[in-house]
Amino acid sequence: MINLEIPKKARTLVNQAYQAAAEVFRPISRKYDRAEHAYPTELDMLAALLDGLNSSGEGGAGAAGVRRKEDDKKSGNRNGGNLSTVLGAIEMCWGDVALLLSMPRQGLGNAAIASVANDEQLQRFAGVWAAMAITEPDCGSDSAAIRATATLDGDDYVLNGEKIFVTAGERADAVVVWATLDKSKGRAAIKSFVVEKGTPGFEVVRLEHKLGIRASDTAVLRFENCRVPKENLLGTPEIDTSKGFAGVMQTFDNTRPLVAAMAIGVARAALEETERLLAEAGVTVDYDKPANSQHAAAAAYLELEADYEAAYLLALESAWMADNRKPNSLQASMAKAKAGRSVVDITLRCVELAGTLGYTEELLLEKWSRDAKILDIFEGTQQIQQLIVARRLLGKTSAELK
């Protein structure tokens, strides 16, 4: 029988994440939404706590790796770091998604290092805050179309190219950069490189002003004859056309459920606030009555809550599969697609249900509606997730179904 309750071993983490969200994130949420690009110094102590949770194996609310080993298959079913991370992220983003994205050492770059790096690199980059640089001016949703190049020259790779929309691109200690070793060999030649701040030829060009997640910095980076030690290449330097791109893409099997969790946290925040406002207005949501026999606002709320529950269960499934070393690319994309679409719909309709209060800065509802949209875009847009799902279900390759 499937048990959908939070595992006992994760309950302490969930409670701690909720307390941090309620006591640290919520009180400063509006402050850093207005003070765009200002670093939230209140996060430093929380980041240290998450480091401890991750290193202890309990999992925090930030990045964790997907490291698959053959002997792991014999360990039986388990609820591990990926599920704990998803549960923690839901609670933290109930507080503020932009502040979670601003947490040191909890970014997508850290997830890439944790997933793909060898044991020596794991030790060498331990404690490094790493951003991830994938998107380019001429390469958005199609990661395989990357044009940034990496050319081996002696003991270094020379990187050239430009990256845009890099979360924590200015604040992080290093950036995991996707670049191609040989454009003629397609996606198999794309590798990821750890480029540390201060490396000659590495420049932060500008910071973007955004609709939402304003507390999180989003940078444009340029690499011009940037020399990176060949030991900083994550994974193998061999170009294997059968699995070369898969090793880099493995990161997304973990981070897409994490982004789904972020969306679920924001959606839950909006739903709870809306339920409170409805109750104050005399509208009670009754779970023992059919929706069509209740107030129209209550019926709308029940519809939104059902959407939320579906996204929540998909995210838990994809994280559980990662913990149990099961291929979860399909489920990760389904969770990301469902949660990304749902959070946009839920937050906007909650603003509508709240009336004038929902549209002003008196409440955080309008902020959550602005924050929500990026959760449907980054880590692969809604359209890309649906394309991945279609390919998996139909057994088509990327060349056969575009």
- Residues whose CB falls within 8 Å of the CB of residue 288, separated by 6 or more in sequence, listed in order: none
Q: Do both 82 and 213 map to the same domain?
A: no
CA distances from 121 to 117, 186, 239, 310 (A): 6, 26, 20, 38
Q: Any idea what the Cα angle at residue 112 is, between residues 111 and 118, rounded to 5°?
A: 110
Q: Are 53 and 13 in contact (CB under 8 A)?
A: yes
Domain of 230, CATH number, reads 2.40.110.10
* 324-363 exposure pattern, b = at least 16 Cβ within 10 A, e = fewer: bbeebbbbbbbbbbbbbbbbbbbbbbbbebbeeebeeeeb
User: Final residue of a domain: which of 172, 200, 234?
Assistant: 234
- Whole-number pLDDT of residue 74: 53
Which of residues 77, 97, 124 is at a domain's end? 124
For residue 258, give the amino acid letter: L
**What pLDDT sits at residue 55?**
61
- Same domain for 15 and 109, yes or no, is yes
Alpha-carbon dihedral 301, 306, 312, 318, rounded to 10 degrees: -150
- The answer for residues whose C-beta is within 8 angstroms of residue 350's C-beta and 6 or more apart is 270, 271, 273, 274, 304, 358, 365, 368, 369
Domains held by the chain: number: 3
The answer to whether residue 93 sits within a structural domain is yes
State whether 78 and 95 are in the same domain. yes
φ/ψ of residue 244, rounded to 5: -60, -45
Looking at the fold, whether 277 and 135 belong to one and the same domain comes out as: no
Longest dimension (CA), the chain: 74
Q: Say if 230 falls within a structural domain.
A: yes
User: What is the predicted pLDDT for the residue at 53?
Assistant: 62
147 in a structural domain: yes
3-state secondary structure of 163: strand
The domain of 205 spans 130-234
> What Rg do the C-alpha atoms of the chain give, in angstroms?
21
- Domain check: are 65 and 24 in the same one? yes
Given a contact cutoff of 8 angstroms between Cβ atoms, the answer to whether 169 and 108 are in contact is no
| Residue 1 pLDDT | 44
pLDDT of residue 338: 98
Is residue 213 in a domain?
yes
Q: Residue 39: give its domain's CATH number.
A: 1.10.540.10
Strand, coil or helix: what is 165? strand
Residues 328 and 386 in one domain: yes
Q: pLDDT in tens for each of the 402 residues of the chain?
A: 457 788 888 899 899 999 999 999 999 999 999 999 999 999 988 887 777 666 655 555 555 555 555 455 555 677 788 898 899 999 999 999 999 999 998 878 888 888 788 999 999 998 899 999 999 998 877 777 899 999 999 999 999 999 999 999 999 999 999 999 998 888 889 999 999 999 999 999 999 999 999 999 999 999 999 999 999 999 888 887 655 455 556 667 878 999 999 999 999 999 999 999 999 999 999 999 999 999 999 999 999 999 999 999 999 999 999 888 888 999 999 999 999 999 999 999 999 999 999 999 999 999 999 999 999 998 889 999 999 999 999 999 888 998
Quick check: is 111 in a domain?
Answer: yes
Active site amino acids: 379
Q: Could you tell me if residue 399 is inside a domain?
A: no
Give the three-class secondary structure for 384. Answer: helix
For residue 265, what is the domain's CATH number? 1.20.140.10
DSSP state of 355: T
Residues 86 and 262 sit within 8 Å (Cβ to Cβ): no
Which secondary structure element, helix H or strand E, spans residue 91, and what is its range?
A: helix 81-95
Q: Are residues 114 and 198 in the same domain?
A: no
* pLDDT at position 69: 53
Do 150 and 285 lie in a common domain? Answer: no
Do both 317 and 336 map to the same domain? yes
Report the alpha-carbon angle 113-117-122, nearest 5: 80
| Global confidence as pTM | 0.92
